[in-house]
Amino acid sequence: MQKLAEKYIFDRLSRKKCSTGENSIEKHSREEDSRWKLQIIKLIFITAAVLIISFSLSASAVLDTSVKNYLLKAPSFSKGLLEGESINYRDKILSFYEDNEYQLIWFSNNMIDNNAYDLIAEVKRSREEGLNPADYHADSLTALLKKYNSKEPEKFDDLYLLDILLTDAYFTLAGDYLLGKIDPETLEFETQFYIEKNNMDFMSYLNMALKNKNIEGSLQTLLPGFEQYSDLREKLKEFCRKKSVSEWSYIPPGELLAVGASGRRVELLRQNLLAHGYSIGGDASDDYFDKNLEKALMEFQSDYGLTTDGILGNNTVRELNINLDDRINQITVNLERLRWLPDSLGKNYIYVNIADFSLDVVENSKKVMEMKVIVGNDQRSTPVFSDRIRYVVLNPYWTVPKTIAVEDKLPLIKKDISYLAENNYRLFKYREGSLVEVDPADIEWKNIDKDNFNFIIRQDPGDNNALGRVKFLFPNKFSVYLHDTPNRGLFDHSERSFSSGCIRIEKPLELAQYLLRDNPEWTKEKIDKELQKNKEKYITLSSPFTIHLQYSTAWVGEEGKINFRKDIYGRDAKLKESFFKKERLN
């Protein structure tokens, strides 16, 4: 191009020297000038294009190398802003960038786009879900973005680094929103058996969100869609706001307080209930226990699962004194549990809250029946899972589980062999592959222990059968089910963890009638008549009915009030230990 330009200049000078002033010659000269100018302009553009393409290819090659190098260093980075950071989805990110030919996905022409800002905004908002923005590189993203905005974009040398962190933040946040931060299967005490959630292809999901410029919306749709979650999330916000205002007063232990009492502890009780949000109907500095204070205290006791007697005793003092930070953490881990649940609880289902000792029947998203339940004791706790009830069994036999047989029944049999007959138990044993009945009197019980006990103990149907008159089966790996009980007095206790893992229900006949309502053969009269026969009867439900066994120690009640319950199995404490660890467990 340089030689062509020189020739153009030489010709121009030559024409000037040889100019004759004739119009035709001048016209010809002008036309030649135009042609030469056009060719030079074309050459300039072609040369510039070649240089730009060469530069882009070179930059792309450098970018490819940088992305790969940083990913191959993951999960731990050891320099600069990434000290202490880790990549949570290294393999997924490697595949994602490979599928996208190692292109920057959060930048356009080396300029950060709105998708990145939307993601960072959602990362910061994750705190409202009870999650920690630091788990999604919030600090590093903020620092890198500040660095990016402090200089000319083309001089920012961490494009690839920022891009990788943004992608990992999206995948991590999406996973935590959809499935929970902690995998419940990794927690021995929270062994799950939930209806599986829909599998999510996060890579395709992210590509679609980027294309539609819907980063925040795509993430928020992964959160649980049922009211229990959104209501509890609002209470988390409310309790976090309280933290910036005041903490409730500590009430020291002491004697029982009721209407008519007075003194400093009554004054502290007033201040404490007022800080909790209850109307005390008087001055917070008043030290007299009146009817208004009793009403407020009874409301608190009801909301916190205590005996509703209006008396300030040790259990009530304990709950009143749990500090605000602990309550916030309690709400937080219960939000996490709700993220473990299926995508939808369904329109019709049974919901058992183990920690509340309660069962609700929900039809078309409205509660139509409720009852008390008795759950497993501390040594034989009731598990958490979801399934479907498939059978109603009238007049059930009870085959005593091996653990209960050797730990509970064997000592009683050894003490008095008549215990079996008096309680309608029969003894069986397998012989040559067949189950045969054995006479207890033929057994040398003094020689039987847990190691050589090879009998089956079965209780016949009847009024004193441990399962009562009805049981509800949803076959599962835990051998847990709902059933009636002859020990009706246990339902009068406020804390009801007395069973060996199965769930005893307060209204078994009402529940049986409800589940069989679509079967015209099984009317109330037919059920009552069948129960008189003392013979076991299996009834298969025409449509299996969903049941959720859940352990909730914090939720929002029908009137919009927060409810808290005692952590009867210590599961909250163990979950908090994993959930609030500084380093993620991936």
Q: φ and ψ at 461, to 5 degrees?
A: -60, 150
DSSP 254-323: -S-B-TT-BSHHHHHHHHHHHHHT---SS-TT--B--HHHHHHHHHHHHHTT---SS-B-HHHHHHHTS-
Distance of alpha carbon 40 from alpha carbon 48, whole angstroms: 12
Asked if 515 and 350 touch (Cβ cutoff 8 Å), the reply is no
User: What does each C-alpha distance from 32 to 39, 44, 101, 363, 562 come to in angstroms?
Assistant: 11, 19, 48, 90, 89
Asked if 109 and 200 touch (Cβ cutoff 8 Å), the reply is no
Q: What is the DSSP letter of 195?
A: P
* Torsion sign (Cα): 19, 21, 25, 27: positive
Strands 503-505 and 482-483: parallel
Largest CA distance in the chain: 143
Crossing angle of helices 114-125 and 159-179, rounded to 10°: 40
Assign 546 to helix, strand or coil.
strand
What is the separation of C-alpha 520 from the centre of its chain, rounded to a whole number of angstroms?
40
* Tokens found for residue 170: 């999206």
Burial 74-83 (b: 16+ CB within 10 A, else e): beebeeebbe
Distance of alpha carbon 164 from alpha carbon 170, whole angstroms: 10
Distance of alpha carbon 40 from alpha carbon 52, whole angstroms: 18
Q: What is the DSSP letter of 81?
A: G
Assign 20 to helix, strand or coil.
coil
* Tokens found for residue 229: 């979650």
Pick the catalytic residue: 137, 276, 502, 548?
502
What count of Cα atoms within 13 Å lies in the side-chain half-sphere of residue 155?
Answer: 5
Residue 493 falls in the annotated catalytic set: no
User: What does each C-alpha distance from 80 to 140, 144, 166 come to in angstroms?
Assistant: 10, 10, 17
Q: What is the DSSP letter of 185?
A: G
Distance of alpha carbon 336 from alpha carbon 182, whole angstroms: 8
Assign 35 to helix, strand or coil.
helix
Which residues are CB-contacts of 582 (< 8 A; sequence separation ≥ 6)?
A: none
Distance of alpha carbon 393 from alpha carbon 356, whole angstroms: 26
Residue 548 falls in the annotated catalytic set: no
Asked if 507 and 470 touch (Cβ cutoff 8 Å), the reply is no
Pick the catalytic residue: 137, 240, 276, 483?
483
State the residue for tokens 């109307």: 279
* Tokens found for residue 398: 């009870």
Asked if 523 and 326 touch (Cβ cutoff 8 Å), the reply is no
Q: What is the DSSP letter of 127?
A: G
| Active site (catalytic) residues | 483, 502
